[in-house]
Amino acid sequence: MRFAAPNLIVPSLWGALFFLAISGPVSAREIIDATGTHVQVVDHPNRIVTLVPSLGELASDFLGLDLQRIVGVSESTDYPPALKKVESVGQYQRLSLEKILSLKPDLVLATEDGNFKDQINHLRELGVPVVVLSTQTFSEIEDSMKKVALALGESDESKKLIARFEQGIADLRARGAKRQAKKKILLELDDDPLVVVGGKSFLNEAIALVGAENVYGDSSSGYPRPSHEDVMKKNPDMVLVATFGESANEPLYLQRAQSWARYPDLKAVQTRQVKVIYGNPLLRPSMRLLEGLALLEKAIYGNS
Amino acid sequence: METRKVFRPYVIAIGCWVLSFILALKLGSVSDVDFSVVTALRLPRAILATAVGMALAIAGASLQALFSNPLCEPYTLGISSGSALGAVIGFSLGLQWMVSGLALTAFIGAIIFMGILYFFSRRTDTGSGNLSLLLIGVMLGFLGSSMVALCLAVTDSQGLQGIMSWLLGDLSRARLAGSSLSLVSVLLLSFAVWNHRKDLDALLMGEETAVTLGVNVNHARRRIIFLSAMLIAVSVSAAGMIGFVGLVVPHFVRKMVGSLHQKMIPLCAIWGATVLVLADMAARVVARPFELPVGAVTAVIGAPFCLWVIARRRTVE
């Protein structure tokens, strides 16, 4: 019995030492992400991996010249151009977990609506800190900007950027609210099959923000695939074909816009209101969205 | 000397499996191997590939005996498709609480489709390489996949994310615990199939011969249908629809050691594992750093092989 006490003391001392060693000088913060998960993120993440193009852009907005902290991006992340040279971790819905893990990230940024839940969970199970963001509405976009800024450990400069963004949105909203005759818009994202912007997308809010109306705004899906018959019935005042490329002048998109001439009964066709719109700044919710919204406003209402 | 000869095929097969397993741990979508990548991602995948390859090859061998037709296997007969339909229905009902929830509905789907197949096979002459069985299977495959498409259209797509790559056969979801559980259940089921080796031998020779050999044909059939449906359900719920492993592997094993199931079953298990481990490695390496669905790799090799078998049967006849 005399030996019982030391037998307990020694392991507990080791235990205490071990506890001190792991809990020691904690340089991590806790971030509650869009899925309600508490994620431990180091103070100054230096090995950042972004899993959708828009988050690559948003992280770059906050990092400024510190871009080398981004070590991995999803395929087709092309803005800012420096990110084209960063290693790819695969398409946003078919990520290579091997690649991500081998980059030893200290912060992974993902989206709830873009990336697959199972792959996110898998990364988390492997101990990778993944901050998931949601960007289905403008308030979620503003919230995701704050969360990304927080996760990156950037404060003053990013606060200014976010304030500028919020101000820009407020200005656009005020201008949009004054529009008397709201144009009915169809925003086309793909044509075979036809994919348009529905109700559950921030782009629906974007159309409303600039003072127009989305003909598929009542759709319960984010990106519905209506039949052309249904489009005839909705009869939009204007069809906007969004590009997924470098510029608005690629022949592919011009052809797509021209192909609407097959439906001469459409009001948009009769009034020559089928236009191509440069999609990249509009479709990716980052700081560039202000620029994209300005393009949208200009495409719908001109310079007035 | 005698024992060495008996064990030689097993030793060769196990040796090949070990080699393929090591290769699968060494190669992948990234070339500079990091230990954490190997243990966290490649090891569970290789274990799952082992389990699923085993299950598919044994299910293929049992189905070939059951219908006494060498063109049978879970994928070409549309049973994988029925099983996938079951899993998708389970998924949309929210049964993914455990691996077993999906495996249960996948099993129900597999057994229903197998029942339909069996019902039609009794009404047509489907033995010894007859193609009408394959036609029934192709129709069942269409039925299953179109009903899956229907399910996906009516249910909330958010919950069914990533299901398309899973349908094509995908091992990337493998986790260590789940893979080990799959391997254990496949080993148990394989042993159960091996216990029916005499029945399988008799059925392969046709129903009449089986009866004269004193086999309770209906009883044996029910057991084998049940066990193959279980094997298919385990593999489909874990890795989606992977075709042709169950066709190619038993074919070559039969060439090597003859058609007695005493040897066939264990060798099919080991070679099936080896083939799928290698196929999955190829799926990760071919388009670095992107990964292909492993089902695409097995189909590219397996479908021409199936055609070759059909063509050869025709010329023999």
pLDDT at res. B96: 67
For residues A139 and A231, membership in a common domain is answered with no
Mean pLDDT score of chain B? 86
- pLDDT tens-digit map of A12-40: 555 555 554 444 444 678 889 998 999 99
Q: What is the distance between the alpha carbons of residues A53 and A70, in angstroms, rounded to a whole number?
A: 12
In a domain, A12, yes or no: no
Report the half-sphere exposure of B51 (CA within 13 A, side-chain side): 33
Residue A261 or residue B153, greater confidence: A261
Q: What is the distance between the alpha carbons of residues A124 and B176, in angstroms, rounded to a whole number?
A: 14
Q: Does B32 lie at the interface with A, CB-CB under 8 angstroms? A: yes
Q: What is the distance between the alpha carbons of residues A53 and B199, in angstroms, rounded to a whole number?
A: 58
Nearest CA in chain A to B175: A122
In this predicted structure, which of A77-86, A103-112, A177-186, B126-135 has the lowest mean pLDDT? B126-135
- pLDDT tens-digit map of B3-40: 778 889 999 999 999 999 999 998 877 776 678 788 88
Helix, strand, coil tally for chain A in percent (to 5): 45, 20, 35
Number of domains in chain A: 2
Distance from CA of A178 to the nearest CA of B (A): 36
| CATH number of the domain encompassing residue A77 | 3.40.50.1980
For residues A263 and A189, membership in a common domain is answered with yes
Q: Does B45 lie at the interface with A, CB-CB under 8 angstroms? A: no
Q: Is the pLDDT reported for residue A188 higher than 90?
A: yes
Q: Is the pLDDT reported for residue B271 higher than 90?
A: yes
Q: Is the pLDDT reported for residue A284 higher than 60?
A: yes
Q: Does B287 lie at the interface with A, CB-CB under 8 angstroms? A: no
Contacts (Cβ under 8 Å, ≥6 apart) of B197: B260, B261, B262, B264, B265
For residues A192 and A136, membership in a common domain is answered with no
In a domain, A36, yes or no: yes
* Average pLDDT score over residue span B170-192: 92
For residues A146 and A233, membership in a common domain is answered with no
Q: Domain range holding A50? A: 25-154
**CA angle at A290 for the pair A288 and A294, rounded to the nearest 5°:** 120
Which residues of chain B does A122 touch, with a Cβ-Cβ cutoff of 8 Å? 173, 175
Which residues of chain B does A89 touch, with a Cβ-Cβ cutoff of 8 Å? 289
Q: Is the pLDDT reported for residue A248 higher than 70?
A: no
Residues in chain B: 317
Binary contact (B289, A125; C-beta < 8 A)? no
Distance from chain centroid for Cα B274: 13
ipTM of the complex: 0.80
In a domain, A3, yes or no: no
In a domain, A247, yes or no: yes
pLDDT at res. B38: 87
In chain B, % of residues over pLDDT 70: 91
| CATH number of the domain encompassing residue B247 | 1.10.3470.10
Contacts (Cβ under 8 Å, ≥6 apart) of A60: A67, A70, A79, A80, A82, A83
In a domain, A89, yes or no: yes
- pLDDT tens-digit map of B137-165: 899 999 999 998 888 777 655 556 567 77
In a domain, A10, yes or no: no
Number of domains in chain B: 1
Q: Does B286 lie at the interface with A, CB-CB under 8 angstroms? A: no
- pLDDT tens-digit map of A43-58: 889 999 999 999 999 9
pLDDT at res. B290: 77
Q: What is the distance between the alpha carbons of residues B121 and A160, in angstroms, rounded to a whole number?
A: 73
Residue A162 or residue B205, greater confidence: A162
Q: Domain range holding B130? A: 2-316
Q: Is the pLDDT reported for residue A204 higher than 90?
A: yes
Nearest CA in chain B to A117: B161
* Average pLDDT score over residue span B59-81: 90
Inter-helix orientation angle B245-257/B294-316, to 10°:
50
Among A98, A121, A122, most B C-beta atoms within 10 A, so best to mutate, is: A98
In a domain, A193, yes or no: yes
